[in-house]
Amino acid sequence: MAGIYIHIPFCKQACVYCNFHFSTSLQLKNDFLQALLKEINLRKDYLQGESIETIYFGGGSPSLLSPVEIESILDEIAKNFPVDSTSEITLEANPDDVTQEKAAAWRVLGINRLSLGIQSFHDDDLRWMNRAHSAQQSVISLEQVKAAGFSNLTIDLIYGTPTLTDEKWSENVEQAIQWEIPHLSCYALTVETKTALEKFISAGTVQDVDSDDQARQFLMLIDWLEESGYEHYEISNFAKPGMRSRHNTSYWQQKKYLGLGPSAHSFNGNSRQWNMANNSLYNSSIKNDLPAFEIEQLDSIHRLNEYIMTSLRTSEGLNLEFVSKEFGEGRMNMLEENSRAYQKNGSVTNEERMIRLTKKGKLLADGIAADLFFERH
């Protein structure tokens, strides 16, 4: 089973923290859609006939597309790939794009999961982030998608911003719980390079993030959601039983997936490739049957390091027996030995040949994984 990711590279406006590829101009949208439909056909053999169990519209802002445009993409995928009848089909949507009519149309098209980019239920936070929607629009959008029959919902929330007090953070999470949202993706604000936020902080016009505040709010989040029956199944993701994101889980389980659209990444088990992050060049390359991507072959060390990174982020953890089987007993022994220091300081556990992060370790997940990486020679 495999997945398909479609990157829609358009947004109404730029959030201060965002480093994803997008354009705030819709001038090239029609050309992009034609190129995307053609790319679907050109890449039909990439997944070697594996059944498609997840389709994910990300971006950017996929909710800027009309239902007719979304339908054309889904139809082209169905023509070129064996889509499973029980597939999870997710659409990312911004609250200000949601209408009752759109939500109903998405349901008719077969969209069965929505990801709402709410980020906060407080207007001052949203203004600071330069989001296009208001807190009231977030509430209205939830009312509309629920009225349309969507029960498989996830919302994004951001913590660790200079405007977010612990009290407001508690209110954000409590709102999500009261709305009975079955899945939450909660991210610490990250200052990415070449973003407006980085420039503002460098110029001293915006307060820098406080790592202590972020750590405290992350630990508060874990406690609140676990008390409310959510499973903390990946560092940034929480779900009610049976409501995990199947698409994102496939990434962490290293299943194959095809990325379509500018900047989208693909993985077939042996290599990764990524499309050019330029709308105009992507459109013209596809139109003229030229390669629109770069490719990297993955050696065993690269694949092992990716497994270390992704598995440690999940509640299942890192399976030492799998490492031995796939990468050799010697590397398994070395990995187990190198993890002992983190066992001693209480950052990881090693039970039944599974290395898992503790609550303390989750605060240091990326650093622990990087320290356990094997060097490539």
When divided into structural domains, the chain yields a total of 2
Same domain, 47 and 107: yes
Do 188 and 63 have their domain in common?
yes
Reported for 193-197, long-range contacts at CB under 8 A and 24+ positions apart, including other chains, are 193/19, 194/19, 195/16, 195/17, 195/18, 195/19, 196/14, 196/16, 196/17, 196/130, 197/16, 197/17
Which pLDDT value is given to residue 221? 98
Q: What is the DSSP string of 114-132?
A: EEEEEE-S-HHHHHHHT-S
Model confidence, pTM: 0.95
Flag whether pLDDT at 19 surpasses 90. Answer: no
pLDDT at 376: 74
As a whole number of angstroms, the distance between CA 235 and CA 365 comes to 8
Read off the pLDDT of residues 60-105 as tens digits, 9 standing for 90 and up: 999 999 999 999 999 999 999 999 999 999 999 999 999 999 999 9
Q: What is the mean pLDDT of the chain?
A: 96
Do residues 155 and 31 both lie within one domain? yes
Q: What is the per-residue pLDDT for 198?
A: 86
* Integer-rounded Cα radius of gyration of the chain: 21
From 219, 252, 285, the end of a domain falls on 252
pLDDT > 90: what percent of the chain? 90
Report pLDDT for 291.
Answer: 87
48 and 170 fall within a common domain: yes
Query: At 104, which CATH number?
Result: 3.20.20.70
Rounded to whole angstroms, the Cα distance separating 90 from 110 reads: 9
* Residue 146 falls inside a structural domain: yes
Residue 272 lies in a domain: no
Q: How confident is the model at residue 223 (pLDDT cuts 50, 70, 90)?
A: very high
Answer with the residue of higher pLDDT: 196 or 75. Answer: 75
Judged against a pLDDT cut of 90, whether residue 204 lies above it is answered with no
Residues 6+ apart with CB under 8 A from 353: 319, 320, 321
- Domain coverage including residue 6: 2-252
Same domain, 137 and 43: yes
CA distances to 29, 48, 334 from 211, in Å: 39, 44, 32
List, for residues 299-335, the tens digit of each pLDDT value.
999 999 999 999 999 999 999 999 999 999 999 999 9
Residues 102 and 165 in one domain: yes
Q: Is the pLDDT of residue 209 over 70?
A: yes
Residue 285 lies in a domain: no
Q: What is the mean pLDDT of the segment spanning 234-249?
A: 97
Q: Are residues 166 and 37 in the same domain?
A: yes
Q: What confidence tier does 211 reach under pLDDT thresholds 50, 70, 90?
A: very high
Decide if 56 is inside a domain: yes
Are residues 207 and 102 part of one domain? Answer: yes
Read off the pLDDT band of 377 (50, 70, 90).
low
Considering the domain architecture, whether residues 232 and 364 belong to the same structural domain is answered as no
Residues 164, 312, single domain; the answer is no
| Whether 139 and 17 share a structural domain | yes
Kindly state whether residue 268 falls inside one of the protein's structural domains: no
Residues 36, 152 within the same domain: yes
Pairing mode, if any, of strands 113-119 and 257-260?
A: unpaired
| pLDDT tens, position by position, 109-123 | 999 999 999 999 999
